[in-house]
Amino acid sequence: MSQDGAGHDDGAGHDDGAGHDDGAAEELLGHLNLIEYCRESTRWGIGGSIDEADGLLLFAAGTWLPVECNGAFRIDDGVPGEVLVRRADAFFAERGRGYTIKVREDDEADADLRRACLEAGLVAFGEPAPEMVCRRRVRAPGPPSGVEIRRITTEAGVADFAAVDADAYSTYGMPLETLPELLSRPDRFLSAPHVTAFVAYGEDGPLAAALTLLSHGIAGVYWVGTVERARGRGLAEAVTATATNLAFDRGAPLCTLQASPMGAPIYTRMGYVAVYRYENLVRFTSPKR
């Protein structure tokens, strides 16, 4: 999940049992980083919860939005897809929410999962998002004159981060309350040692944002966003470069993100390359109990 204002993109310190070994594929590490982001994001909001057992992860963040903020993954690809859907239906029915299952396109391991989702009535939402990776530091163009990129270290800064992405993602129909709800426990957001957030400030306030999340020996970039009034000034690239280069400064050999259709050209220009795509399969309304 990473985003860039006129195009979003959004990316986690936990060992999945799959662990990290030097020969592990970039694709798998990126997938595991995304799963860790989803775990971590549930800790940032009031009422967030996780159910992780038997090779499955079910996560409900501090906001109700089905897409991106509530969902389910298989940690063990050997668990049948229909088992994940059945468990997700029960978990989210208790919370009165819909949810998303992300399926890796053209990945044989996810073929049964996609089939199970569609047979159960989940529907494809949006264009498939490229999973992109960057293998080296990127050129940092710097923000335009009068703009400063700051690392977020205070609760006021977290509120600014939320305000930027609330504005940025409203372009795509995301309700304005989503980001403030997702980040309604800013103390937890700030205390996570593997999460670093940035906001670009101008004379008229916060303008752009991004965060870096470290896990599984790599890093992911998430919640890239630019407020509508500041688009077209290169701010998305500037904050993405800051977040990406932090990953390499921290020793990560790889940085990953999930790009929106509008964001992908920016990331490609920066040096990110697509390795596969995620399809969002969504149950928009609360499952039946």
3-state secondary structure of 213: strand
Q: Whole-angstrom Cα distance, residue 10 to residue 263?
A: 10
Cα of first residue to Cα of last residue in the chain, in angstroms, is 30
Which CATH superfamily hosts domain 148-276?
Gcn5-related N-acetyltransferase (GNAT) (3.40.630.30)
The owner of tokens 């996810």 is: 110
pTM for this model (two decimals):
0.90
87-141: per-residue pLDDT in tens?
A: 999 999 999 999 999 999 877 889 999 999 999 999 999 999 999 999 999 998 8
| 8 Å CB contact between 72 and 287 | no
Helix axes 111-119 and 81-93, enclosed angle (nearest 10): 50
Q: What's 42-84 look like in SS3?
A: HHHCCCCEEEEECCEEEEECCCCCCCCCEEEEECCCCCCHHHH
Q: Where in the chain is the domain with CATH 3.40.630.30?
A: 148-276
* Calculated CA dihedral for residues 34, 191, 223, 88, nearest 10 degrees: 40
154-198: per-residue pLDDT in tens?
A: 999 999 999 999 999 999 899 999 999 999 999 999 999 999 999
31-68: per-residue pLDDT in tens?
A: 999 999 999 999 999 999 999 999 999 999 999 999 99
246-279: burial string, b at 16+ Cβ within 10 Å, e else: bbbeeebebbbbbbbebbbebbeebbbeebbbbb
